[in-house]
């Protein structure tokens, strides 16, 4: 089966790599929108304008499933995209608020995400639904995807943000932007023994297996 994976940039590559490793029998078509990134400072209307033509192209290219490997897109416009493409299953990567809230002992979690994700209704609904009674710290990660995309990672800056949330008592850190996969190792090392770092790749692969099975039969 042909499966499309979409992100604004290198976050999509990390997800595509994980899917290719777990599901090697499927053909993974990766599309990135380098022309318009970063997405994290765009409006939902702008995002829709960027994404619809790319999904049309992937569907015309026989992708039977599209993995929305971009929290910014999923949290802002997934409903619009599902209305636009009712015949193609869209698997959305979203901030792992629910598992983080279930895991925390300190009742403090940190969510690292783009400004557009943090501002979205969907993300705020997730917090309300699953993290009532949990304090959610949202460190300023507004330039992280840009730094990662342009290979200009300022490790001091990232260490500073992680130190902040650890000092604030967070014992779970959610990587809610697929670009952050590329700094996951550093963050995990910084958080070692103090906080667990969650990222969505394995959960997405599990969800994909269900969707693939439902299409195949």
Residues that bind ligand DGL (CB under 6 A): 7-9, 11, 37-40, 70-72, 114, 117, 145, 177-179
Q: Could you say which of 63, 70, 112, 141 is catalytic? A: 70
Sheet holding 2-7: strands in order across?
A: 27-32, 2-7, 65-68, 90-92
70 is an active site residue: yes
Neighbouring C-beta atoms of residue 100, cutoff 10 Å: 24
Q: What is the smallest separation between the CB atom of 84 and ligand DGL, expressed in angstroms?
A: 20
177 is an active site residue: yes
Nearer to ligand DGL, 8 or 104 (CB): 8
Distance CA 80, CA 204 (A): 21
Q: What is the smallest separation between the CB atom of 33 and ligand DGL, expressed in angstroms?
A: 8
Tokens, residue 61? 């290219």
Count CA atoms closer than 13 A to 71's CA, side-chain side: 32
Nearer to ligand DGL, 73 or 171 (CB): 73
Peptide bond between residue 38 and the one before it cis (omega within 30 degrees of 0):
yes
Q: What is the smallest separation between the CB atom of 203 and ligand DGL, expressed in angstroms?
A: 14
Nearer to ligand DGL, 7 or 171 (CB): 7
Contact 19, 79 (CB under 8 A): no
**Catalytic residue list:** 70, 177
């Amino acid at each position: 089966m042909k499966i499309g994976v979409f992100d604004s940039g290198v976050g999509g590559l990390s997800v595509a790599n994980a899917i290719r490793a777990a599901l090697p029998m499927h053909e993974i078509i990766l599309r990135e929108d380098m022309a318009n990134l970063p997405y994290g400072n765009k409006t939902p209307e702008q995002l829709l304008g960027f994404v619809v033509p790319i999904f049309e192209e992937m569907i015309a290219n026989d992708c039977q499933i599209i993995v929305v490997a971009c929290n910014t897109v999923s949290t802002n416009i997934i409903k619009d995209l599902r209305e636009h493409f009712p015949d193609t299953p869209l698997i959305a990567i979203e901030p792992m608020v629910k598992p983080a809230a279930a895991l925390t002992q300190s009742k403090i979690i940190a969510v690292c995400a783009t400004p557009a994700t943090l501002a979205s209704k969907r993300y705020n609904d997730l917090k309300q639904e699953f993290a009532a009674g949990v304090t959610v710290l949202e460190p300023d990660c507004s330039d992280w995807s840009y730094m990662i995309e342009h290979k200009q990672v300022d490790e001091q800056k990232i260490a500073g943000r992680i130190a902040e949330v650890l000092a604030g008592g967070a014992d779970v850190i959610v990587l809610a932007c697929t670009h952050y996969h590329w700094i996951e190792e550093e963050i995990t090392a910084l958080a070692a023994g103090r906080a667990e770092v969650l990222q969505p790749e394995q959960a997405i692969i599990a969800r994909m297996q269900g969707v693939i099975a439902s299409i195949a039969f």
